[in-house]
Amino acid sequence: MKIALPVDSNSRETGICPSFGRAPYFLIYETETKKSTFIDNSAIASQGGAGIKAAQVIIDQGATILITPRCGENAAEVITAAGIKIYKSASDSVADNIAAFTQGKLTVLEEIHPGLHRHGAN
Amino acid sequence: MGPTKMKIAVLSGKGGTGKTFIAVNLAAAAQNATYLDCDIEEPNGHLFFKPANLQSEKVTVGIPFVAEKLCTGCRQCVEFCRFNALAYANNKLLIFDEVCHSCGGCILFCPEQALTEKAKVIGEVQRGISENVTVLTGMLNTGEPSGVPIIKKLLEKTATDDGLAVIDCPPGSACVVMESIRDADYCLLVAEPTLFGLHNLQMVWELVRLFEKPYGVVLNKCLDGDNPAEEFCREKQLKVLAKIAFDADLGRLNSNGIIAFRANQKYQKQFAQLLQAITREVQHETAVNP
Amino acid sequence: MKQLLILSGKGGTGKTTIASAFIKLAGAKAFADCDVDAPNLHLVLQQAVQPKRTDYYGMGKGFIDIDQCSDCGFCAENCRFAAIKWDNTYYQVDYYACEGCGVCVEICPVQAVSLKPDIAGEITLYANATVFSTAQLKMGSGTSGKLVSAVKKEMQMAAPEDAELAIIDGSPGIGCPVIASLSGVDMVLIVTEPSLSGISDMERIIRTAAKFQLKMAVCINKYDTNLSNTQKIEAICEELNLPCVGRIPFDTEAVKAINKGQSIIDIDCAAGRSVKEVFNNAIQVLNNSGGI
């Protein structure tokens, strides 16, 4: 299966990015082959709706798990609709998070923050 | 004051300089006038006018709605949308109403015509009467991306009016301010005597010149001592139509939502004079630039 | 690093004046001006270093190549923003009305329309021992939520390791820029004034901020201009269970200080003395780990 993580750079030493929607890259980790691929997050240049676009990016990569420190409600809606499970990252290290996930030590991300565009009601 | 067909926009760049105070009192000073509150995020004019016979009209924009049976998952709409309001997951099209900017593109370009338009309420326009003034208030619902459609609706309502319209503009110089002054015959720039006030006066001065609107300045809340805004006007030769002194009593009237023109002779005179001065400017402008 | 945001709903209540005082009182090593439409903080907190300036790109604006254009008018007909007009000679895009949606580009039968990159503002970052992030949105631009997020991000990324508290001067209103500034902060201080407008706007901003999980407090500026409204505000705060962290008197000395480019705590004045108390109370709320 494929695990997606938002990361700060596309080098091996990269740390986890605090933002999901505007992370410059995603790291896609294939659990069977243990291979990592970096993909550009095209959402980063967006004026708005970055989370939605970023969600589409990881869906299209075939990820079934997302490990992230934060996630906005619009992105979460898309990700959940695709059947992807969202886990809260435990540290800044990619390797540690993947290990923690494999050992069943990560928790599901509970706090989904409000989108930067609000729903109607005054 | 005779009935003069004229649209005066009152703007300031900075909030809290007295835009609403001046716009409200100018409208009150006319024989009859329409007051338009274009500060749709925080409209305050109605707190002074307390308009009666209130009628409200919702303002809507078009949002896409998908007929799932017709959708083939081609994703052309997702790829087209520059606002990222659409996503495709698990064979379903997801539409994010509050991110959509209502450009209509996805509806136009869907090859299966699976997308149609539905209305989404983004705010409302309220209309009421307060003595000689028709009060039109625009209100934007919290968090909506653009208030421009509400301002357009407000201005539409006065397009064919023959009398005086006073437009209370939002602070700043963003697109909502531009929309508010689009139809104005004259722009009144309100400046307060602080460094911040001056900085923001410069912004709106640039804006009115860009739109080639005739303009003049009102110096408000004037105190003794340095007035950076006044010095600036002198230096750059901006016409100052009135200087209103800071006055604690006036402050109290305002903070209690009382219209100074209707409560106090001194302000009655001051605003009647200001209205006359603006009328002269507009008439002069029309004569010179027909 | 904790983040304290200062908002007001209504303009002119004293956000920037209070923010600049807080920055000095806290010895804050990181601060930002998120009022990107009309930034003022830099006028009171002059910086010695040369800043890093970055262009901020907006949505892109429609551009019609008149050599390719066949004058069919489809673009103008389909523009929902009335941004394309016939100019007596050719069709032209109104730069300020254009929202960069791209419908004109897609619909043009002869590919005469394109979207050109548009510089909608500039981000300025002063970074040495302290970090100050600010930006200016170009006139007529819209949707500045992204620019606000960019200002905060620049501050966060450049902030010194040992910066404990960041102070953010917010923008008036309740729209996207305000929502963007609220995201991720630990506490918001709402500055209000005792007028009907001030109260009305305060209530709107409280409703807006309440949608986020963060601490909230209120302070009343120019409180002595209307004591009965001040009491009204304090009653509202009590009803909503919001801490009222203090009152600041109207003070002409404060205006004089600001006009000299100084903060109100740089001189001895009534407002300056009161803001110190407000600051201490606000910090207590911020550090209070219990619920409000």
Same-domain pairing of C197 and C260: yes
| Sign of the dihedral through C-alpha C220, C224, C226, C228 | positive
Q: State mean pLDDT over B71-77.
A: 97
Q: State mean pLDDT over C198-214.
A: 85
Same-domain pairing of C47 and C125: yes
Same-domain pairing of C176 and C130: yes
B90 vs A83, A118, A119: nearest CB: A83
For the cut 70, the answer to whether the pLDDT of residue B264 exceeds it is yes
How do the domains of chain B map onto residue ranges?
A: 6-58+128-288, 68-113
Q: State mean pLDDT over A25-32.
A: 96
Task: Give the model confidence (pLDDT) of B125-154 as tens digits.
Answer: 999 999 999 999 999 987 777 888 999 999
Same-domain pairing of C220 and C235: yes
- Total domains in chain C come to 2
Helix (H) / strand (E) containing C30: strand C30-33
Per-residue b or e along A61-83, where b marks 16 or more CB atoms closer than 10 Å to that residue's CB: eebebbbbbbbbebbbbbbbbbe
User: What single-letter DSSP state applies at residue C266?
Assistant: S
- How far apart are the two ends of chain C, measured CA to CA in Å? 20
| CB atoms B89 and A49 under 8 Å | no
| CB atoms A113 and C146 under 8 Å | no
Same-domain pairing of C25 and C166: yes
Same-domain pairing of C238 and C206: yes
- The CATH number of the domain holding residue C142 is 3.40.50.300
Bigger pLDDT: C75 vs A46: C75
With CA atoms as reference, the chain B residue closest to C226 would be B252
Query: Residue C64: its pLDDT value, please?
Result: 97
Range with the lowest mean pLDDT among B71-75, B247-251, C270-274? B247-251
pLDDT level of residue A13 (50, 70, 90 thresholds): confident
Same-domain pairing of C68 and C205: no
Query: Residue C292: its pLDDT value, please?
Result: 43
Report the topology of domain B6-58+128-288: Rossmann fold (3.40.50)
Q: State mean pLDDT over B191-203.
A: 89
Q: State mean pLDDT over C204-227.
A: 89
Q: State mean pLDDT over C174-191.
A: 85
| CB atoms B83 and A49 under 8 Å | yes
In angstroms, the CA B231 to CA B207 distance is: 20
Same-domain pairing of C193 and C223: yes
Bigger pLDDT: B43 vs B2: B43
Same-domain pairing of C240 and C101: no
Bigger pLDDT: B224 vs B66: B66
- Compute the nearest-CA separation of B266 from chain C (Å): 20
pLDDT level of residue B155 (50, 70, 90 thresholds): very high
Report the topology of domain B68-113: Alpha-Beta Plaits (3.30.70)
Query: Residue A99: its pLDDT value, please?
Result: 95
- How far apart are the two ends of chain B, measured CA to CA in Å? 23
Chain C, 168-197: which have a CB under 8 Å from a chain B CB? 172-176, 179, 193-197
Same-domain pairing of C220 and C169: yes
Task: Give the model confidence (pLDDT) of B241-257 as tens digits.
Answer: 999 999 888 988 888 99
Q: Report chain C residues whose CB lies below 8 A from the CB of B13.
A: 38
Query: Residue A114: its pLDDT value, please?
Result: 63
Q: State mean pLDDT over B222-250.
A: 92
Task: Give the model confidence (pLDDT) of C91-100 as tens digits.
Answer: 999 998 899 9
**Last-in-domain residue among C117, C132, C166:** C117
A56 vs B82, B87, B90: nearest CB: B87
Q: State mean pLDDT over C201-212.
A: 84
Query: Residue C5: its pLDDT value, please?
Result: 97
Query: Residue A121: its pLDDT value, please?
Result: 29
Same-domain pairing of C64 and C47: no
Same-domain pairing of C42 and C68: no
Query: Which chains does A contact via 3+ CB–CB distances below 8 A?
Result: B, C
For the cut 60, the answer to whether the pLDDT of residue A122 exceeds it is no
For the cut 70, the answer to whether the pLDDT of residue B83 exceeds it is yes
Per-residue b or e along C212-222, where b marks 16 or more CB atoms closer than 10 Å to that residue's CB: eebbbbbbbbb
Mean pLDDT score of chain C:
91
CATH node for A2-102:
3.30.420.130
Domain assignment present for residue C93? The answer is yes
- How far apart are the two ends of chain A, measured CA to CA in Å? 43
With CA atoms as reference, the chain C residue closest to A45 would be C57
Prediction ipTM score: 0.89
Task: Give the model confidence (pLDDT) of B14-67 as tens digits.
Answer: 788 899 999 999 999 998 899 999 999 889 999 999 999 999 999 999 999 999
Query: Residue A120: its pLDDT value, please?
Result: 31
Query: Residue B158: its pLDDT value, please?
Result: 81
| CB atoms B83 and A83 under 8 Å | no
Please give the single-letter amino acid code of residue A45: A
Domain assignment present for residue C292? The answer is no
Which structural domain range is residue C85 located in? Answer: 59-117
Query: Residue B147: its pLDDT value, please?
Result: 87
